[in-house]
Structure 1
Amino acid sequence: MSEQIQPVILGADIGVYALARSFHEAYGVRSVVVSGAALGPVAHSQIIDNVLVEDGHDPRQLVDRLVSLAAELPGKRLVLMANSDWLVRVVVQHRAELEPHYVVPFLSEDLLERISDKATFAEICQDLGISVPRTIVQDFAQAGEEEWAPVPVDISYPLIAKAASSADYQDVEFAGKKKVFEIQTPGELDELWASLRGTGFRGRFVVQELIPGDDTQMRSITAYVDSRGATTLLCSAHVLLEEHTPSGLGNPAAMVTTRIEPMLDQARHFLKSTGYVGFANFDVKVDPRDGSYRFFEVNPRIGRNNYYVTAAGANPMRFLVADRVEGRAVEPVVVDEQVLYSILPNSLLLKYVLDPALRSQVQGLIRAGKVAHPLRYAKDGSPRRLAYVAAALINQVRKFRRYYPEVTGTGF
């Protein structure tokens, strides 16, 4: 049955290409990618058919195009994937329209709303005995009222502020907007609250203690929970370097897959206790003060950097297809293989990896050829794609030179 599958993927970023690549590696199939524009990662690809909609941010257009697309692909088992929070929400909210045509391997709408909100996620973790940074919630629901005032914040500075729900924050625009804010003073926090209130933001922001340590304290977990509720795939990675552009802050740029069992146990506990199904991606930080694993959030999707799992020998699409297309239960897998996943030139990465043990590990993986870049695929090597990949690597050098020119040894 797997030979009849047809992946249909919403979006156009590097994570979408990684999904298409994983499907192609597993089953030799081309993916249909639906988006508002064929951006660089998915353009000129020999493993992707791009389908464009006039407005890629209009949920109604996307859903209508998915329904009409299904009629154009008779005889195939259509598997629908999305890899950004707001697109997952579109799919889940329109499940009744899409499920007659597609396999929709996502969690319930109720659970999506609960775990996608960083404030509610923190509460769930605390109830389960899973460590999180100390969190205060700032609710802007009544911020349009003249008498509204933000709640006091008694967390030590510097601290972290970010939207509780990225979907609520998606279309908010103001000067200095960032995915994550490192706030140095009460005055800076007051300015952020004023900007959010003034722009009409009516969601929630969370303020959290800043867990000390640089990018290398971060960890990533990718999981798949099958339709029976069994966690059949777990893979963890040690982050070496994150992106530092305002829009990409916190996205891992380089990681080494590393099995970290105590952290994975907590992820299993969360997934089982919440009744989770589908792919999940956790952001975790090791607290150097006590060695605890502080869970920051869970993304209700496989994650932008999902290719690290495939590179380590456990192609996630095989777990998905076995479960949702073939109806098979599979033996759970915890990834042990070590590979270096990186979207950076090796020389740029090594500039930032200062810890001698980590640096030696990275150099060893490079020498052994155990390095994976999601866009570098030998079976998708047209001249225009090769030129794009080369330009993307050069652009990484420019971005780090501009936004993170020196290694400071601090971060979040």
Structure 2
Amino acid sequence: MSNQIPASQPFVPVITGGDLGAYSLAREFHEAFGVKSAVVPTAENLVVGGSKITQLFPAGPMFDSARVVRHLDDVANMLQQEGPRPLILSAGYDHLVRIMIEHDAELREMGYVFPNLTVEQLDQASLKENFYALCEKHGIHYPRTAIYECAQGEKPVAEFVTELAAPDWQYPLILKAGDGGEWANTRFDGRRKVHYLETPDELADILYKANDAGYQGTLIIQQFIPGPDSNLRILTHFRDRHGNNALSGLAEVIVEDHASGLEGNSRALLAATDPTLEAQGAELMEALDWHGFGMFDVKIHQHTGEPYFLEMNPRLGRHHYYLTIAGANPAPYLVREFVEAAEHPAATTTAGPAASMTIPMKLAYQYASDEQAAQLDAANDAKLIGWPLRYAKDRNIKRDLYQRLRLTKAAREIDHVPGTMNS
């Protein structure tokens, strides 16, 4: 049984999701304020469960918006039995951000506090075709992109695939869904979060399967930006209610997951700085008039050195603990913004040496570039290597054993041919 959140606690973080990002944020709230968090996963697990700092409220599948809102109403009632208190709502997945925004008034009436955003803003940020149009408008590089409209069915698959030919297009290509939430709820054999396609036949196969499975959104097909995982960047910003960019935090990826369904989940990160990238991210946040956290995936072209913005996540990223290791715990930003209505300190930009890991160090060194290996050494010397799932104040034998088991699987989950997405 998860620990009960005390009635005397002045506010409660309510975190939807049950993965690394959810536990990291609960840990960050506990580190900063000593509070426990209400975590709403689909089911109990030992990532967020078996913990002294979380109380779990499992919701089952969280794709039906009415069902999610009803469950959050139940959670709010349980947490406010002895009187109202602020419930800081954080969404762990894009489709949950959408539910939060679409049901803004209902959720606020329940006692939840969260960023002020509209569906239009969310569509501009998270629907990739809109995001790339925004990048185009602001002169920010993004991959060569083609969009296949599954719902409209105006163009036969064979015709579409033929159009993506040399000299304008060169394989390999990347395919991902324009609407990540709907894609996560689409089922067919071989479906992945991100597809790495080496031939036209592979592209056609996925398009046919997506259509047959009833996916109604767009599919984004992109030129693969050459380079290993170490060319990937994660850029986090926090923009406050006054429109000020209060936080910029960049990280270099050492290696990410390559197992099916986990693609794109960073496993080892180094805090970094890049004024050009940080300025571009802040420009996009301002153009969207964004409120709260936003996270950008970026890749540096191996041959030209140019940064390409791949997508924006309308929330904190899954592996965001690098911010805390680098001195910018995100929890106080949320409390100042949504509970205290206080001003933030002067704009903060994080920097290294600092690292955050969910794999053994020897694997991080195996995939790190020479420069990254030196940064790992520096972070280790400075005692600034963090393990978000290893919290000294939240020890539990079952959790500890589970984390050790996860580490034994890490080599298989990140195994791939460097410079590709193939395992």
TM-score (norm 2): 0.91
Matches within 5 A, 1:69-88: 69-72=75-78, 73=80, 74-88=83-97
Question: What amino acid is aligned across from residue 160 of structure 1 in structure 2?
Answer: I
Once residues 48 and 338 of structure 2 are traced to their aligned partners in structure 1, the CA distance between those partners, rounded to angstroms, is 25
Of the structure 1 ranges 312-321 and 68-77, higher mean CA displacement relative to structure 2 is found in: 68-77
Once residues 351 and 146 of structure 1 are traced to their aligned partners in structure 2, the CA distance between those partners, rounded to angstroms, is 45
Deviation at 1:320?
Answer: 1.6
Is the CA contact (8 Å cut-off) linking 1:142 and 1:148 kept in structure 2? no
Given the superposition, is the C-alpha separation of residues 193 and 55 from structure 1 closer, same or farther in structure 2, using an over 3 Å criterion? closer
Once residues 302 and 313 of structure 1 are traced to their aligned partners in structure 2, the CA distance between those partners, rounded to angstroms, is 16
Match of 1:97 in 2: 106
Given the superposition, is the C-alpha separation of residues 140 and 55 from structure 1 closer, same or farther in structure 2, using an over 3 Å criterion? closer
Matches within 5 A, 1:24-35: 24-35=30-41
Deviation at 1:262?
Answer: 0.5
SS of residue in 1 equivalent to 2:394: coil
Once residues 364 and 115 of structure 1 are traced to their aligned partners in structure 2, the CA distance between those partners, rounded to angstroms, is 36
Once residues 62 and 202 of structure 1 are traced to their aligned partners in structure 2, the CA distance between those partners, rounded to angstroms, is 22
Give the aligned length: 405
Match of 1:211 in 2: 225
Please, which of 367, 379, 392 is the counterpart of residue 406 of structure 2?
Answer: 392
Match of 1:11 in 2: 17
SS of residue in 1 equivalent to 2:215: coil
Is the CA contact (8 Å cut-off) linking 2:336 and 2:342 kept in structure 1? yes
Question: What amino acid is aligned across from residue 245 of structure 1 in structure 2?
Answer: A
Is the CA contact (8 Å cut-off) linking 2:179 and 2:217 kept in structure 1? yes
Q: Which runs of 5+ in 2 are unaligned?
A: 1-7
SS of residue in 2 equivalent to 1:291: coil
Once residues 150 and 227 of structure 1 are traced to their aligned partners in structure 2, the CA distance between those partners, rounded to angstroms, is 47
Deviation at 1:148?
Answer: 7.6
Instruction: Give me the identity figure in percent.
Output: 34
Question: What amino acid is aligned across from residue 32 of structure 2 in structure 1?
Answer: A
Deviation at 1:30?
Answer: 0.3
Match of 2:391 in 1: 377
Given the superposition, is the C-alpha separation of residues 148 and 248 from structure 1 closer, same or farther in structure 2, using an over 3 Å criterion? closer
> How much is the aligned-residue C-alpha RMSD, in angstroms?
2.0
Once residues 241 and 188 of structure 2 are traced to their aligned partners in structure 1, the CA distance between those partners, rounded to angstroms, is 41
Render the CA deviation track for 1:265-299: whole Å, top value 9, x for unaligned: 00011011111111101000111332211000000
Question: What amino acid is aligned across from residue 299 of structure 1 in structure 2?
Answer: N
Given the superposition, is the C-alpha separation of residues 122 and 54 from structure 1 closer, same or farther in structure 2, using an over 3 Å criterion? closer
Answering whether residue 164 of structure 2 is matched by residue 153 of structure 1, we say yes
Is the CA contact (8 Å cut-off) linking 2:100 and 2:107 kept in structure 1? yes
Is the CA contact (8 Å cut-off) linking 1:93 and 1:109 kept in structure 2? yes
Deviation at 1:360?
Answer: 2.3
Deviation at 1:325?
Answer: 1.2
Matches within 5 A, 1:333-344: 333-344=348-359
Answering whether residue 418 of structure 2 is matched by residue 408 of structure 1, we say yes
Question: What amino acid is aligned across from residue 188 of structure 2 in structure 1?
Answer: F
SS of residue in 2 equivalent to 1:362: helix
Please, which of 254, 261, 264 is the counterpart of residue 268 of structure 2?
Answer: 254
Answering whether residue 52 of structure 2 is matched by residue 46 of structure 1, we say yes
SS of residue in 2 equivalent to 1:80: strand
Is the CA contact (8 Å cut-off) linking 1:132 and 1:296 kept in structure 2? yes
Question: What amino acid is aligned across from residue 172 of structure 2 in structure 1?
Answer: P
Match of 1:112 in 2: 122
Question: What amino acid is aligned across from residue 127 of structure 1 in structure 2?
Answer: K
Render the CA deviation track for 1:2-22: whole Å, top value 9, x for unaligned: 972211111111110011011
Given the superposition, is the C-alpha separation of residues 54 and 299 from structure 1 closer, same or farther in structure 2, using an over 3 Å criterion? closer
Of the structure 1 ranges 276-285 and 190-199, higher mean CA displacement relative to structure 2 is found in: 190-199
Render the CA deviation track for 1:204-261: whole Å, top value 9, x for unaligned: 0111111111101100011111111111011000111111111111111111000111
Render the CA deviation track for 1:277-327: whole Å, top value 9, x for unaligned: 111010001113322110000000101011111111111111121122111
Render the CA deviation track for 1:31-86: whole Å, top value 9, x for unaligned: 01123211221110100001123544433222112223223322421111111111
Matches within 5 A, 1:6-405: 6-72=12-78, 73=80, 74-100=83-109, 101-105=111-115, 107-143=117-153, 151=160, 152-154=163-165, 155-330=169-344, 331-353=346-368, 355-400=369-414, 403-404=415-416
Question: What amino acid is aligned across from residue 176 of structure 2 in structure 1?
Answer: K
SS of residue in 2 equivalent to 1:160: strand
Once residues 150 and 91 of structure 1 are traced to their aligned partners in structure 2, the CA distance between those partners, rounded to angstroms, is 39
Render the CA deviation track for 1:343-393: whole Å, top value 9, x for unaligned: 00111222222x322222223323443211110101100112211221121
TM-score (norm 1): 0.93
Question: What amino acid is aligned across from residue 225 of structure 1 in structure 2?
Answer: R
Given the superposition, is the C-alpha separation of residues 54 and 173 from structure 1 closer, same or farther in structure 2, using an over 3 Å criterion? closer
SS of residue in 2 equivalent to 1:315: coil
Q: Which runs of 5+ in 1 are unaligned?
A: none
